[in-house]
Amino acid sequence: MNNEPHDALNESSEPSSSLTPSSNSAPRPTSGYPQGCPRLPFSAAASYALLRAKPEQDIWVSLLKQHGDIVYLPWLNVYFVDRPSVVHEILKKRHDVFVRGPAFRASFGRAIGRGLITNEGTEWHFTRRLVHAEFKPKSIADSSLSTFRFVQNRIASWEDSAKSGVPLDVSASLYHIHLSLIGKFLFNNALDGLLDVIHGHVTRVSAETYRRSMPPGLFLPWWFPLPGSKRAHESREQLRVLLRQLISTDCGPTIKHLQNAVAKDGKSEQWLEGELMTLLWTGHETSSQASAWMCFHVAQQQEVQERLYEEIRSMEDAIADGSALDEKLPYHKQVVDEALRLSPAVPRVGRTLIEDCEVDGVLFRKNAHIAISPYVVHRHPEYWEEPEVFDPERFSASNKDSITPGSYIPFAVGPHRCIGQHLAVSQMITVLANTVRKYRFTLANTNPVKALDHATLVPSEHIYLRLEVRK
Ligand code: HEM
């Protein structure tokens, strides 16, 4: 049987299939809504409270357990869809009807400019085709050795924490590492000296974008100032200036493709800026959180750490041969997959319906919003045994074929699946391999760490590690 990770890896119909209209003509339901799933009789206040609840993810898992894997909330006009077969259908087969919603596109577009993550149709297709070759496994593998050495150097500096016994703020350190990595990938520049500046700007813009994606900000016009709006605006402008400076130097191939499109295809400088900001943003926010969560899980699994250590020690010489890291370090890949199952860095994927549509006996209404949560889907008890248990064996060669399509979606599926998937996985394996080969580590946080949905899945406090240098 096809499995999701394999499925996602082999979705090489780049990206022409995405523009092909679905052959399924959507039936037009004539009777009331919803059909085929419960309508939760929540009042406006209860719906509002649901959106504001923290940690949101736990509430969403309770919705699944109490009411089923597809539910409709009338006040929000939103379907929570966590049934793998329907998730798969929505994201992959009916992507022409379930599109990225205008609210998401507007808020994200205003925050960072229009780019791959906000666009649909020909504009989206143009960029995806232009840059996709640079994100393929072969291109990523070509730079895996230099990436490995770079991360090795950065992680060596954690030794100070090991020697002093002061726990390491691994969330902060990994943020810098992943920002440097995307800087190297895009600009041939590790952004040294700019890391804190960029972090500050990104944090301010993200916070404002988040405030505007939740009530009451959601219901206010964009021009209406919220606390922090002025500073977020200044940060956005500062980031634009920085980007202009960075692209004037020697850039990587992805940026060169984008620059060529300005020179030859009549694309504007504003278009270039939006695409660049999108890649810089998506290329470090998600992967740094994903790596921090991975450390969080592995820090609590000493046996897993020892097995990882054995694998990297036995493959050390092979790192230099230029083939893909996930092939050389299969157990590392299993651990990354399992960390992304329990803590998917993108906890929520949204769509809006542009016409009525039936999927799997459920009638979805035009203009309704769809909230798909990888976090919840990855905990669906019918598809994952003991879902809260960290178990990399779920992704072993003999087990992964039995994973149901649509039940493992950290990078989504379909034409809008994450373009940076192979880059992110390769970086996470690199971080993991370099950490376990040098250190044994345990979790130093004393409070329970909860998962919060801030567009990326963030921990309720930074992750801290207690490190011991391996002899
Ligand atoms: C572990 C890290 C990452 C996770 C979990 C992740 C997850 C996702 C998900 C779920 C989507 C689909 C969103 C949707 O369908 O609406 C997506 C899209 C996207 N991701 Fe990632 N991502 C990660 C890392 C990266 C990296 C390193 C890049 C590099 C630039 C990147 C760039 C993008 C872009 C540009 C899109 C939009 C793709 C399109 O619509 O064509 N992501 N990502």
Q: pLDDT tens digits for 131-162?
A: 999 999 999 998 999 999 999 999 999 999 99
Q: List beta partners, residue 157.
A: none
CB 394 within 8 A of CB 67: no
Q: In residues, how long is the chain? A: 471
The residue nearest atom 15 of ligand 1, judged by CA position, is 416
Residue scoring higher pLDDT (76 or 341): 341
Strand 464-469 relative to strand 439-443, pairing: antiparallel
Q: What is the DSSP letter of 458?
A: E
> Mean pLDDT throughout 242-266?
91
Distance CA 144, CA 334 (A): 18
Structure confidence by residue, pLDDT tens digits, 371-424: 999 999 999 999 999 999 999 999 999 999 999 999 999 999 999 999 999 999
Residue 104 CA: which ligand 1 atom is closest? 16
pLDDT tier at 32, thresholds 50, 70, 90: low
Distance (Å) from CA 29 to ligand 1 centroid:
34
Rounded distance between C-alpha atoms, residue 393 and residue 338, angstroms: 8
| Smallest CA separation from ligand 1 atom 19, residue | 418
Question: For the segment 439-461, what is each residue's pLDDT rounded down to a tens digit?
Answer: 999 999 999 999 998 889 999 99
Give the Å distance between the CA of 415 and the centre of ligand 1: 11
Q: Is the confidence at residue 36, as pLDDT, over 70?
A: yes
Bridge partner list, 308: none
Instruction: Tell me how far the alpha carbon of residue 411 lies from the centroid of ligand 1, in angstroms.
Output: 6
* Average of per-residue pLDDT values in the chain: 88
Whether cis (ω within 30° of 0) applies to the bond prior to 21 is no
Mutating to test ligand 1, I would choose from 126, 182, 280, 286 the residue with most ligand atoms within 8 A of its C-beta, which is 286
Per-residue confidence band for 33, with pLDDT thresholds at 50, 70 and 90: low
Instruction: State the distance from the centre of ligand 1 to the C-alpha of 197, rounded, in angstroms.
Output: 23
Ligand 1 pocket, CB under 6 A = 100, 116-117, 128, 278-279, 282-283, 286-287, 290, 344-346, 349, 410-412, 416, 418-420, 423-424
Question: What domains can you pick out in the chain, each with its CATH number?
Answer: 4-469 (1.10.630.10)
What average pLDDT does the segment 17-39 reach? 50
The pLDDT of residue 136: 96
Q: What whole-number distance in Å separates Cα of residue 218 and Cα of residue 113?
A: 19
Residue 389, classed as helix, strand or coil, is: coil
Closest ligand 1 atom to residue 344 Cα is 5
The protein residue with its alpha carbon nearest to ligand 1, atom 37, reads 117
The residue nearest atom 30 of ligand 1, judged by CA position, is 283
- Separation CA 33–CA 180 (nearest Å): 49
- What was the pLDDT predicted at 105? 80
pTM greater than 0.85: yes
Rounded distance, CA 425 to CA 431, Å? 10
Q: Residue 252 Cα, ligand 1 centroid: separation in angstroms?
A: 19
Count of beta carbons in the 10 Å neighbourhood of residue 183: 22
Output the CA 345–ligand 1 centroid distance in Å: 10
Nearest residue (CA) to ligand 1, atom 41: 416
Q: How confident is the model at residue 178 (pLDDT cuts 50, 70, 90)?
A: very high
Segment 265-283 shows an average pLDDT of 94
Which comes out higher in pLDDT, residue 310 or 60?
310
Query: What is the DSSP code (8-state) at residue 70?
Result: E
> Which pLDDT belongs to residue 250?
80
Ligand 1 atom closest to 351 (CA):
16
Mean pLDDT within 299-326: 89
